Structures are given as C-alpha cells and as structure tokens.
Amino acid sequence: MAYKPKTKVWLKGQFESIIKITELTWKFVIKLEKNFKYQAGQYVNIKVDGITRSYSIASYDSGKNSFELLIVKLDGGALTTLLFGKVKEGGSLEVEGPKGKFLLPESIDSDLFFICTGTGLAPFRSFLDLIKQKKIVHKNIYLIFGTRTRSDLLCYDEMLEWKKDIKGLDYIPVLSREEWEGASGYVHEQYKNIINDTDLTDPIFYLCGWRNMILDSRRNLKDMGFDSKKIICEIYD
C-alpha cells in the first residue's frame, strides 16, 4: 500500500486584537472559528494571503479557542510586512496545528531554566501563564531573557508582576548593547553564575531563540557536565 502523506488541516480564524509591545514586536491575538486545543510550548503555522510561517504560542490555553503570538518585524519578511502593514483587527487568516514537543514535564520535580533571546520568550510566557493560572506545583524557575536594548525588552512589566505571583520565579533580563540597572552582557554569564552559586535540584534547561545562543548554551552546559537529555532546544532561524 502506497504511503499517503497526512493532509494538512487549516482552521479559519481572525485577528481578534493587535497590540504593540515594542516598536518591532507586536502581540497578535488569534480567535478561531472551531474548537482549538494546545499545550503550553507548542507552535502553529499561520497563513495570510497564501504566505505561511511558524510561530510559538505565547499564551495558556484558556479554552476560548484563541491564542497569542509574539511576532517581530523582519526587514524584507514577506509575512511580517503584511502583519505590520496590511493586516488589521478583524482580518482573516488560517491556522494549522498545534505542533511541537517543546513541553513542560508532567510533574515539575526539577529546577527549571528558561533561557531565551528575542521572541524566544514566547513559549516561556506560555509555560509561566499555565503555571500561574493552574497553580502548578514547581521548584525554582530561572527565566533568563537576552536582548539588545531596553526598548527591545518584551513583556517587561508583565514579567515583573508574574515574578511576584509565581513563587520561586527569578526573572533576569540581560541587555547586550546598553548599560542599565539590570544585568548586561549575554545570557551565558547569567546561567553560569546561577549554576556555580546555587544548590540546584536536578535542573532541566529549556533554550529558545537565536541559533547561535542555543548552540553556545548547549555546548557550555554539556561542558559543565549536564546530560544532553536535560537540555531541550527550540531554535528560531
């Protein structure tokens, strides 16, 4: 019997709201016409005017057939040119998914490191939203978010509030091209300091964002003696 590839199922939806987070990164809230369930950390394919791209979901599944995306405008990007120009609230799109296995463990018995750059924050916002809303029992969580300047910080005020709401959450934004009152440099120094200075409980490392950051972090963590099975990656090209 000849193999038949699985047919993609595209769901119709609309842009329920579009919110400017920073100059180049906006939050798009998508509402679907049909039932849509997903797990924190998964991603979707979206299609607008025949152009398709993949994005990590940045929200917790509240059962309302909707989800949020954090999307950065790319110079010359075919889809982001549409999203940051032609697309308006109420506009239509198609969605395929959810997809991916970048997921939290069923029981959180380990300290968690969420290490990210740019819109790689998206699945970790989804994780934290789930933990907060469902009051999931967990160990310590270290959210280390690297970006260039203060104007590039995503969800900064929100993360400060969530730090108050989520016990054991340590939020560490790091700027590489600007001096400020917080951490400066790159994410690597931050997770290395925590590892060296803290008595950790069987940590699991989640890495999401720019390829070079992930490859460097994975190599560093393996060199520090951590099992590659405890290093979970989602690379954005």
Contact of 124 with 169, CB cutoff 8 Å: no
Which pLDDT does position 78 carry in this prediction?
A: 96
Asked, for residue 106, whether it belongs to a domain, the answer is no
End-to-end CA distance of the chain: 37
Q: How many CB atoms lie within 10 A of CB 188?
A: 17
Asked, for residue 232, whether it belongs to a domain, the answer is yes
CA distance 235 to 211: 6
Q: Pick the closest to residue 22 from 83, 69, 68, 72 (CA basis).
A: 72
Which pLDDT does position 8 carry in this prediction?
A: 83
Peptide bond into 203 cis (omega under 30): no
CATH number at residue 21: 2.40.30.10
Of the candidates 64, 99, 134, which is a domain's last residue?
A: 99
Q: Are 215 and 123 within one domain? A: yes
Can you list the residues of the chain whose pLDDT is less than 70?
1-6, 237
Identity of residue 160: L
Contact of 121 with 154, CB cutoff 8 Å: yes
Q: Are 90 and 119 within one domain? A: no
**In a 3-state reduction of DSSP, which class is residue 193?**
helix
Q: How many domains does the chain have?
A: 2
Q: Which range marks the domain in which residue 51 is found? A: 11-99
> To 10 degrees, what angle do helices 211-223 and 187-197 make?
20
CA distance 82 to 176: 30
pLDDT digits (tens, 9 = 90+) for 142-200: 999 999 999 999 999 999 999 999 999 999 999 999 999 999 999 999 999 999 999 99
Asked, for residue 105, whether it belongs to a domain, the answer is no
DSSP state of 177: S
